Structure 1
Amino acid sequence: MRVSHEIYNATVLEPLAATLGESPVWHSQRQACFWVDIESCRIYEYDWKNKRLKKHDLRQRVSLVVPSADGQLIIALQGGIARFNPDTSELTWITDMGLNWTDHRCNDGACDSKGRLWIGTMELDGRENDGDVYCLEKNGPLKKKIERVSISNGIAWSADNRFLYYTDSLTRQVVSYHFDEVSGNIAFDRIAVQVPQELGLPDGIALDEEGALWIALWGGYGVSRWDLSSGKMIGFVELPVPQASCCAFAGDKLDQLVITTARKGMSASDLALYPGSGHIFIVRPGVRGLPAFTCGF
């Protein structure tokens, strides 16, 4: 029996043609939405009120931007974790994580309610079982939380902070972990979502205030909305491009979903069919998202 679901239609926010758009995040202090183009080593800042786009070019691949407590950014790069001032473009390294970055880089991540940064790593070509998920807190050691992952992607928390949701894309699963908010410890709970093959690979994720999970679908031509209690898809944002990479709620009311996409790995004929690949899309889904936590260092 086919489960019915709501269909949403997105529009283009910015026609960027990014190689690998990723990591959209709403920065409430700056009233701006940030995202990155990993392969172009670039951070974008979209001024929400004035609809102006600013770009910041870096020297390393940058995969993640999260707001910091002082209004700046904490970013993850091929090289470690750093603080970035979007007003001056000053970059200050925090840690190289003690890793060899020759053929690895950071990928997706997020901050939890206590300001800890959770970040996944991966081999540049996504070699299986060659990445890990780490947690870093202010004045604390770097801790490995999940081992031997392939393409580490979305991380998000339930509204009550009792559960952490995580996806390693090649598994096509979103895994639920019991989460101890005080210690940051996690323990396996269950497979919350199993994404069917025809929907592509699960990439970045976001939670809304109703407890539903939004999953960007790499190769799935859209973003899906899932009921976490049943594991069933209940909504779908249709996109005119195949590779959705991440999504985040943005705006004062967190009532708009910003979606990054990519053109990496697409042939000339593919790009002729899907010229909007790499653009940034936006949709009003009729529900608000949960706010992003700020980094505590």
Structure 2
Amino acid sequence: MTQTAQLLVDSQCALGEGPVWHVERQQLFWVDINNKELFAASADGEIQQSWAFDEMMAAIAIVDRDTLVLVGETGLKRLDLQSGAVEHFFDLERDVPTNRGNDSRVHPSGAFWIGTMVKDEGPKDGAVYHYLAGKLQRISPMPPFRTRRASLLMVAAPIGPTPRPVAS
């Protein structure tokens, strides 16, 4: 059986990433990182809504029917889908202005795994973070113990969690 992928939404994003299906709303959410936008489309591919921001947004996590968490350049934001209100609630690498948030995933436990990466040319200084219950922990690399090998982590993109334990 051969399956052919078909275009669902012709959004013409400069850098479209992070698609997340919101079951309760029956909408697909994704970001256009470079154009600082978030989109929502129906299951048939019709763009139903978009939001513009003052900074790049790189990833999305669903909190509930009307709330998303966005990974932005400067930290984590809470977006109220009804009012459009955006609340910055956690700083992310404030001390590394050359970096931005990158791909991120929610683990079945509710933990949010967040990657960062360098925005442009510069030091390779990406990292992976674990956010849970209001606490953010940097997982890799851990300063001041960066090694030459660890500093090569330029684009940190947490992988998706598996639904069951992986046999070793």
- With structure 1 as the length reference, what TM-score do the two structures score? 0.49
* Local SS of the residue matching 1:53: strand
Contact 1:78–1:101 (Cα < 8 Å) also in 2: no
Distance 2:40 2:59 in 1: 13
Q: 1:111 to 1:133 in 2, by over 3 A?
A: same
- Aligned residue for 2:147? none
Higher strand share: 1
Distance 2:40 2:121 in 1: 27
- Residue among 119, 123, 127 paired with 1:124: 119
Q: Which runs of 5+ in 1 are unaligned?
A: 1-5, 164-177, 179-188, 190-297
Contact 1:75–1:81 (Cα < 8 Å) also in 2: yes
Which of structures 1 and 2 has the larger relative contact order (alpha carbons within 8 angstroms, sep 6+)?
1
- Aligned residue for 1:90? 85
**1:29-48 equivalent positions in 2, closer than 5 A:** 29-48=24-43
* Local SS of the residue matching 2:159: strand
Q: CA RMSD in A?
A: 2.3
- Aligned residue for 2:162? 158
Identity level (%):
23
Distance 2:78 2:89 in 1: 7
Runs of 4+ with >6 A deviation: none
Q: What one-letter code is carried by the residue in structure 1 that aligns with 2:49?
A: K
- Report the number of matched residues: 158
- Aligned residue for 2:136? 142
- Aligned residue for 2:146? none
Q: Is the radius of gyration larger for structure 1 or structure 2?
A: 1
Q: What one-letter code is carried by the residue in structure 2 that aligns with 1:153?
A: A
Asked whether 1:78 is paired with 2:82, we answer no
Deviation string, structure 1 residues 180-226 (Cα, Å, up to 9, x no partner): xxxxxxxxx7xxxxxxxxxxxxxxxxxxxxxxxxxxxxxxxxxxxxx
Q: What one-letter code is carried by the residue in structure 2 that aligns with 1:99?
A: R
Distance 1:132 1:7 in 2: 39
